[in-house]
């Protein structure tokens, strides 16, 4: 059974969330929504590389935070609540020079006021390149 507030949500439904954002600038594209996961890709190119030609760790962190934040937004009633990242860490395990990387986010904790997400990023050969954890605060909207 899907964990999402709207169980029928599709990647095309959330694509507008990224318009004119850091994720849009870096080429992040949501590709799949499963029962308890969200998947997105990001190119390894001039926007996402560091000076030595490798995927920049900060770009991996952007992919991770984008996935976790959007996943939180899919769990809540957006008419009543906002979600904001409050802590992220990332361990960079392997370098990537080209192609697409794919991030997959799954929940570790989904409480009323905080969510904690596990994000794994893989290269095109499906080798694990980064593991990240994101904590998101759920904040009631002020009307």
| Confidence (pLDDT) at 142 | 86
Is 35 a residue of the active site?
no
Structure tokens at 143: 């009307």
What distance in Å separates the CA atoms of residue 97 and residue 116, rounded to the nearest whole number? 30
Task: Specify whether the backbone of 53 is left (phi greater than 0), alpha (psi in -120 to 50) or beta.
Answer: left
* Percent with pLDDT over 70 in the chain: 100
Domains, the chain, ordered by start: 11-140 (3.10.129.10)
The predicted model gives 116-123 an average pLDDT of 98
- Among the listed residues 32, 35, 65, 87, the single catalytic one is 65
Q: pTM for the complete prediction? A: 0.96
Task: Note whether 36 and 91 are within 8 A (CB).
Answer: no
14-38: pLDDT as tens digits: 999 889 999 999 999 999 999 999 9
């Amino acid at each position: 059974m899907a964990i999402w507030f709207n169980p029928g949500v599709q990647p095309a439904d959330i694509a507008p969330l990224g318009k004119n954002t850091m994720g849009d600038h870096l080429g992040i594209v949501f590709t799949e929504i499963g029962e308890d996961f969200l998947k997105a890709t990001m190119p390894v190119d001039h926007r996402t590389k560091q000076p030595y030609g490798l995927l920049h760790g900060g770009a991996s962190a952007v992919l991770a935070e984008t996935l976790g934040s959007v996943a939180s937004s899919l769990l809540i009633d957006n008419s009543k609540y906002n979600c904001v990242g409050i802590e992220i860490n990332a361990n960079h395990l392997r370098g990537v020079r080209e192609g697409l990387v794919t991030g997959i986010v799954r929940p570790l904790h989904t409480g009323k006021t905080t969510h904690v997400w596990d994000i794994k990023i893989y290269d095109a050969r499906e080798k694990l390149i980064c593991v990240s954890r994101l904590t998101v605060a759920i904040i009631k909207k002020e009307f």
